[in-house]
Amino acid sequence: MAAAMVPVVIAVIVGYGLVKGTPVFDLFLEGAKEGLVTSARILPALVGLVAAVGMFRVSGGLDILSWAMQPLGKLVGLPKEVLPLALMRPISGSGAMALFHDLLMEHGADSLIGRVSSVMMGSTETTFYTIAVYYGAAGIKNTRHSVPAALAGDVTGFLMSALMVRLLF
């Protein structure tokens, strides 16, 4: 589905441009040049964030924090096995995907843990990556209430995942 979407969208954009008589290749080059500048601008933010996340992952902090959060998880109905995933999800997309894969292999896709983690992955995003890249590209340092508002959404997503799976399955 998504694999077919990309060529369709590209074809629609270029096709519409041709029909309207726009100089499609000239415009493409102009835009692509801007993309190059943007890439250079997000590099520093990515180096900082990816290095910090990488350090956090090897430090074993994830297990300790998950353990500390178990009582809280129990209170809201999140299985303790998915807590590391909830902690990893906002900071690293590839890290969360790896944890998610492990959970599926260990507990099966159709178990409670498998389903809750699937819904968690489907309904949330890599919050800090998005914030760092977007504001980094625009050169904005003061992100104001972006982080608390985004995290409120993430926490809601995690709680809703557990709730919806328990309700629907």
Partner 1 sequence: MMNYIFGGMILLSFVFSVVNGRLDQLSNAALEQAGNAVELTFSLVGVLCLWSGLMKIAQGSGLTHALGKALSPITKRLFKGLNPEGEAIQAVCMNMIANFLGLGNAATPLGIQAICAMKKEEHAKRATNNMVTFVVLNTASFQLIPTTIALLRMKNGAGTPFDILPAVWVSSAVSVTVAILFAKLLAPVWRDS
- Judged by beta carbon, residue 54 or residue 77, the one nearer partner 1 is 54
Contact 118, 87 (CB under 8 A): no
- Judged by beta carbon, residue 75 or residue 144, the one nearer partner 1 is 144
In this structure, which amino acid lies at residue 55?
A: M
Backbone angles phi, psi at 125, to 5 degrees: -130, 175
How many Cβ atoms from other residues are within 10 Å of residue 6's Cβ?
A: 9
Residue 84 beta carbon to partner 1: minimum distance, rounded to whole angstroms: 14
Residue 121 beta carbon to partner 1: minimum distance, rounded to whole angstroms: 5
- Judged by beta carbon, residue 41 or residue 80, the one nearer partner 1 is 41
Residue 81 beta carbon to partner 1: minimum distance, rounded to whole angstroms: 15
d(CA 48, CA 134): 14
